[in-house]
Amino acid sequence: MSKQLTPDICVIGAGSGGLSVAAAAAAFGVEVVLIEKGLMGGDCLNYGCVPSKALLSAGKKAFALKGNSAMGVSASGIEVDFGQANDHVRAVIAAIAPHDSVERFEGLGVTVLQNQARFVSPDCVVAGDAEIRARRFVVATGSSAAVPPIPGLSDVPYLTNETLFGLRAAPEHLIIIGGGPIGMEMAQAHRRLGAQVTVIEAQKALGKDDPELSAVVLDRIREEGVDLYEQTAVTSVEARDSKIIVHIEGAGNEPTSIEGSHLLVAAGRKPSVDGLDLEKAGITFDRNGISVDKGLRTSNRKVYAIGDVTGGLQFTHVAGYHAGLVIRSILFRLPISENRDIIPWVTYTSPELGHVGMTEAQARERFGGKVKILSADYSGNDRAQAEAATQGRLKLIAGPGGKLLGADIVGAQAGEIINLLSLAVSQGMKMKDLAGFVAAYPTLGELVRRAAISYYAEAPKKPWIRQAVRFLQVFG
């Protein structure tokens, strides 16, 4: 090897988590080597969150231009230029890319190696002609699209999130395998931008979210013209006359087939561990990812793993959360413990769907009858009425003593509202805290206070409270 490097920290993977670790460590004057074999910024910037939300935004603009006849606004002759929508996606990536670039990180003092990293021993990594022996290693290689073993799939051209955003023309008919957040977001975006869209989901679409609230999203997407098949298996795929034929079989239904022009596989993610030679470092892993303890350490105590590669909650903000934890552990020797109960997530469809903390089922399993479900409908919110955005509901999950255990929301700006509730969950707030803050009027944020106040709805009916009021009235 021509280069022998001995940094304090070696980070493998320049996605959200890896970049955060490298930047934070460098800010404290710690020597860092950052290794990335692909594009800086990782999946989120180049193939995931950023391009998908940019395309969703273009779809929302196209949908909004149609107007709302109930508000006295209508439009006709709306045209969508899918190529320009794709230009918008590229422009957004280009605007953010300098923040994640090699040049910026080298300017911060980080040594960046653009090559494949692989372990050769428990305390040594090789990347190109460099050998890195660090005090601590952080594996942050993320995940990639999982491709299910469907007969014929390997013989037809199909898209994943890594190739979808290269399309310059709207698909005539986009068939999507997978009804999770990615599948449903891209279904709605492409439908609004002019494509015919069919989604096939083996189980329940948006199945990780509250079923009552996810149904609101699915009904809306169906109303917009997306064909959604749930509890339906894809039995095989074939190409025929420049078309893609997807053969399906649903529960209790006769087998049938769907003909489309494009096929998107959005059937989950797999951890990116290929080529790392983790075995040589004594790092335990399986098909679900690298095994870590609550402190995000692997079976090799010199090595941490963060983000998607650990196989847990696969969100950019989780990778960032993990990065903050390992910095505390590596630099300051502070004890750390991942807490998944405080992690929010949002599906950015219209309406948006958000969640934080425990689900209702988890809360009832842990606390039984001590759980109360409090709700507030968008239809009862003045701002929602003014904006004709009354389709939605907020649910708060209150535990013993009125502690906020979790929350679910569907509706306009659900992602912004869930941020407030994420803070409340992380700080262990109770219903009295959420009922006691002053919300600006008229805002959708008033939904939180309205739902929390309902926790005390039975108080006026309690005899001892009524007696106390009457007693105090005696004193004027």
pLDDT, residue 68, reads 76
**Does 303 reside within a domain?**
yes
426 domain residue, yes or no:
yes
143 is in an annotated binding site: yes
Do the domain assignments include residue 185? yes
Is 275 labeled as ligand-binding? no
**Is 178 labelled as part of a ligand binding site?**
yes
User: 295 a known binding residue?
Assistant: no
pLDDT (tens digit per residue) in 61-102: 999 988 777 777 777 778 899 999 999 999 999 999 999 999
**Residue 194 is labelled as binding a ligand:** no
Residue 175's beta-bridge partner residues? 198, 263
Structural domain including 359 reads 342-458
Is 399 among the annotated ligand-binding positions?
Answer: no
Burial grade of 328 (CB within 10 A; 0-12, 13-18, 19 or more): middle
CA distance 475 to 463: 20
Q: What's the CA gap between 35 and 132, in Å, rounded?
A: 10
Last residue of a domain, one of 320, 338, 356: 338
Whether residues 375 and 448 share a domain: the answer is yes
One domain for residues 260 and 404: no
Does a structural domain hold residue 218?
Answer: yes
Residue ending a domain, choose from 251, 267, 283? 267
pLDDT of residue 70: 74
| 183 in a labelled binding site | yes
Report the distance separating Cα 281 and Cα 132, nearest Å.
13
How remote is the C-alpha of 167 from its chain's centroid?
23
Predicted local confidence at residue 2, as pLDDT: 73
Distance CA 142, CA 320 (A): 12
In a domain? residue 118: yes
| Residue 343 counted as an annotated binding residue | no
How many whole angstroms separate alpha carbon 153 and alpha carbon 244?
A: 10
Q: The domain spanning residue 353 has which CATH number?
A: 3.30.390.30
User: 219 lies in a domain?
Assistant: yes
Q: Are residues 245 and 165 in the same domain?
A: yes
Number of domains in the chain: 3
Say if residue 7 is in the same domain as residue 140: yes
> Tokens 């707030």 label which residue?
429
Q: pLDDT per residue over 401-451, tens digit each? A: 999 999 999 999 999 999 999 999 999 999 999 999 999 999 999 999 999
**Same-domain check for residues 263 and 274:** no
Query: Within a domain: residue 254?
Result: yes
Q: Are residues 274 and 399 in the same domain?
A: no
407 and 428 fall within a common domain? yes
Q: Is 380 annotated as a binding residue?
A: no
CATH code for the domain in which residue 166 is found: 3.50.50.60
User: Are residue 242 and residue 164 in the same domain, yes or no?
Assistant: yes
185 carries a ligand binding annotation: yes
pLDDT of residue 473: 76
**Same domain? 384 vs 327:** no
* 387 and 417 assigned to the same domain: yes
Per the annotation, does 141 bind a ligand?
yes
Residue 18 assigned to a binding site: no
207 with 347, same domain: the answer is no
Is 411 annotated to bind ligand? no
Residue with tokens 């909004």: 64
| Its pTM surpasses 0.75 | yes
Helix, strand, coil percentages (3-state) for the chain, rounded to 5, are: 40, 25, 35
Q: 184: annotated binding-site residue?
A: yes
Nearest Cα to Cα of residue 27 among 323, 468, 359: 323
pLDDT of residue 469: 66
Residue 190 counted as domain residue: yes
Same-domain status, 167 and 221: yes
Is 201 annotated to bind a ligand? Reply is yes
- Please identify every stretch of the chain with a pLDDT value under 70, giving residue numbers as ranges: 1, 459-460, 464-466, 469, 471, 476
Domain-ending residue, one of 226, 251, 267: 267
